[in-house]
Amino acid sequence: MITAKPPLALSAWGLMFLPMAGASLLTGLFVLGVSFSNHLAILSPAPLLIAALLTYAALLFLLGRSGLANIRALEVRAVTDPLTLMPNRHALHAQIAQLSRGDAEVALAVIDLDSFKQVNDHYGHAVGDVLIARCAEVIREVCGKEARCYRLGGDEFAALMSGKVAGTILEGLCRTLLDRLSSPIELDGRHIVVGASIGLARSTATARVPSSEMLRRADVAMTMSKRGGRMRCTWFNESFDRRRERMREIAEEIRAGIAAGEFRLAYQPLVSAESGRIVAVEALLRWDRGARAPLGPNIFIPVAEDSGLINPLGAWVLRQAVCDARRWEGITLAVNISAAQLRNAEFPIKLGEVLEETGFPPHRLELEVTETCLVLDPEVAERTLDVIRSFGVRIALDDFGTGYASIGFLRRFRFEKLKLDRSLVELAGVDEASRAMMLSSVALARALDMGVTAEGVETKDQAELARLAGCDQLQGWLYHRALSAAEIDRLIEAQENAATGSGEAGGTASA
Ligand code: C2E
Ligand code: MG
Ligand code: MG
């Protein structure tokens, strides 16, 4: 490792020439002194002058040599990452520029570790540094002699290749790397699975791109890998740029929409599988965009999450939903919560404030979280969920059946409810394997003392199947679509009237 720092604020060449100039000056003064001195009792000054010149030459040689060595060390230091000793970002730019002068394809992979931040946060920076060094070893091993590898900074690495089919070979190496990084790495007795997301970009003789653009493209592709669920590699595609631009525009529109009050809530009832009565409502966000093309929450919520706007938006949803649901006595209110909200340390505090200010009974509130919310940072999520539960609020796992939730995962988070995703409910009606999965999911939830809701029930057959499987609540267009708060008022009133025998129940009307 190179740790020496230049003592003066001089360039490397300055550091080399300054001592040489000093030596020359001293020698010159000495020669002048000897030549013109009447006091030196020397018979002939010639041998003295020759000795001085020889010393001067030797000094120049030594200073020059050590100066050159210093310059080389500084140059190496400027292009080397001190922790991994891999070449750094400057070196990568230079290498891409050099390779781009030839005719061959140049392929670049940007590799970003998935769970590095959590390791740093939980075990400290010293362990984080060791992990980076270990991952660097793995990357070096996988790249071997075929690709050059670099550390770009933080938990970001790169691999570069050139050649006829560089892209294909590099993609193969990246897949091997993903495989290797999906196995636990042992660090001081801890086993850490770090994982990685990779973005790939290429430049060919007919379509050369500058190194900065190539790096940007690989970086954009890497972000797409992260968004797609991590542990994958993605090739850059021009459409990513258009998408990013559109996302940026939507984020701006959301910001303006919040200020202009364009958001509203709709509520979709959940009915009891046994009685068909409305037992809960789920708040679903809607955006009134006037003449502009409509956008559903599946589009705008991820943009709000990425831009951080989900925090003000989610806070508004929670307060509004609680205010509306206060009057729906005996009915549970379900509110969807994003990963970004759950990660925000302010969230439980804000939740506590809303409950206190509105006087909403916490046991009537259920927060719906998705698996991705929890797997990204399980320790933080667990702590936050514990605080939320301490208020008396329940937690439901939404969209179950779309991810990889294991039994261990379900036990760890002890959800009060499991919501079977619409895709599972739909497939269970047509496919034997999905039906088996639905049955075993319900059995598992029951064993862990969780309630089960089937989402997206559209047909009587699906409702019957879900009921037989053991689901206790059903939600779907067969019963009700998402309705305005005023429509929910009417439905609940009709239901109460029916119960007291003074009117008709809302039945299975949908709006
Ligand atoms: P989700 O929480 O799983 O909500 C259920 C979605 O399925 C809703 O879509 C609902 O309208 C739709 N749905 C319900 N029954 C049926 C059915 O029988 N058939 C079909 N085809 N669809 C049905 P929506 O309102 O578009 O919401 C989509 C997702 O957006 C929600 O999925 C939720 O993850 C998210 N979302 C909605 N509102 C919020 C919110 O306030 N905050 C957060 N963080 N996410 C929200
Ligand atoms: Mg939901
Ligand atoms: Mg769902």
Q: pLDDT, tens digit, for every residue of 468-478?
A: 999 999 999 99
Distance from residue 399's CA to the centre of ligand 3 (Å): 4
Say which residues have a Cβ less than 8 Å from residue 186's Cβ, sequence separation at least 6. 192
Q: What is the pLDDT of residue 197?
A: 96
Give the chain's residues under pLDDT 70: 1-13, 15-16, 38-43, 502-511
Give every CB contact of residue 20 below 8 A, 6+ residues apart in sequence. Answer: 60, 63, 64, 67
Q: Which amino acid residue places its CA nearest to atom 13 of ligand 1?
A: 456
Say what the pLDDT of residue 508 is. Answer: 44
Class of domain 89-236: alpha beta
Nearest Cα to 337, choosing from 357, 311, 307? Answer: 311
Q: What is the pLDDT of residue 7?
A: 47
Residue 43 has a pLDDT of 57
**What is the longest distance spanned by two Cα atoms in the chain?**
136
- Give the model's pLDDT for residue 1: 39
CA of 455 to the centre of ligand 3 (A): 6
Query: What gap in Å lies between CA 198 and CA 218, rounded to an integer?
Result: 8
**For residues 382 and 386, what is the distance between their CA atoms, to the nearest angstrom?**
6
Closest to 368 (Cα-Cα) out of 388, 383, 391 = 388
| Contact 114 CB / ligand 1 (< 6 Å) | no
* Sequence-distant contacts of 12-17: CB under 8 A, at least 24 apart: 12/70, 12/71, 12/74, 12/75, 13/71, 15/67, 15/70, 15/71, 16/63, 16/64, 16/67, 16/68, 16/70, 16/71, 17/67
Considering only CA atoms, give the Rg of the chain: 34
Task: Give the separation between CA 136 and CA 157, rounded to whole angstroms.
Answer: 8
Inter-residue contact 423 to 402 (CB < 8 Å): yes
Ligand nearest to the backbone CA of 271: 1
Domain with CATH 3.20.20.450 in the chain: 244-499
Atom of ligand 1 minimally distant from the CA of 284: 38
Which ligand does the CA of 421 lie closest to?
A: 3
Closest by Cα among 436, 424, 432 to 400: 424
Which architecture does CATH list for 244-499? Alpha-Beta Barrel (3.20)
371 in contact with ligand 1, CB cutoff 6 A? no
Asked if residue 312 lies in contact with residue 346, where contact means CB atoms within 8 angstroms, the answer is: no
Burial class (CB in 10 A: 0-12, 13-18, 19+), 285: buried
Question: Which amino acid is present at 417?
Answer: K
What is the pairing mode between strands 473-474 and 451-454? parallel
Per-residue confidence (pLDDT) for residue 206, from 0 to 100: 94
Residue 459, helix vs strand vs coil? coil
Nearest CA to ligand 1 atom 23: 456
The percent helix, strand, coil of the chain (3-state, each to 5) is: 55, 20, 30
CB of 421 closer than 6 angstroms to any ligand 1 atom: no
Inter-residue contact 222 to 197 (CB < 8 Å): yes
Residue 205 backbone dihedrals phi, psi, to 5 degrees? -55, -35
DSSP per residue, 346-412: HHHHHHHHHHHHHT--GGGEEEEE-HHHHHSSHHHHHHHHHHHHHTT-EEEEEEETSS---HHHHHH
- 461 neighbors 469 (Cβ within 8 angstroms): no
Confidence at residue 372, expressed as pLDDT on a 0 to 100 scale = 79
Angle CA(8)–CA(10)–CA(15) in degrees, nearest 5?
90
**Ligand 1 lined by 302 (C-beta under 6 Å):** no
Q: Which ligand is nearest the CA of 283, by number?
A: 1
Q: Are 438 and 420 in contact (CB under 8 A)?
A: yes
- Please give the distance, rounded to the nearest whole angstrom, from the Cα atom of residue 366 to the centre of ligand 2: 10
Ligand 3 midpoint to CA 370 (Å)? 8
Angle between helical axes of 238-260 and 211-227 (0-180°, round to 10): 60
What is the whole-number distance in angstroms between the Cα of residue 87 and the centre of ligand 3? 46
Distances from the Cα of 298 to the Cαs of 243, 255, 269, 320, 424, in angstroms?
A: 15, 17, 19, 20, 18
For 208-362, strand residue ranges (E) read 233-235, 263-272, 278-287, 332-336
CA–CA gap between residue 306 and residue 282 (Å, rounded): 23
Q: What is the DSSP letter of 207?
A: B
Q: What are phi and psi of 142, to 5 degrees?
A: -70, -40
The CA distance from 180 to 231, in Å, is 11
Q: Give the model's pLDDT for residue 229.
A: 81
Q: What is the distance in A from the centroid of ligand 1 to the CA of 297?
A: 7
For the chain, where do the domains classified as CATH 3.30.70.270 start and end? 89-236
**Spatial distance between the Cα atoms of 452 and 474, rounded to a whole number of angstroms:** 9
Residue pair 234/284 in contact by the 8 Å Cβ criterion: no
Q: Quick count: other Cβ atoms within 10 Å of Cβ 364?
A: 19
Q: Hey, what are 352's tokens?
A: 């506590």
Q: What's 65's DSSP letter?
A: H
CA-CA-CA-CA dihedral for 327, 271, 400, 247, to nearest 10: -50
- Best residue among 301, 310, 365, 400 to mutate for probing ligand 1's pocket (most ligand atoms within 8 Å of CB) is 301
Instruction: Confirm if 312 and 257 have CB atoms less than 8 A apart.
Output: no
What letter does residue 184 receive in the DSSP assignment? P
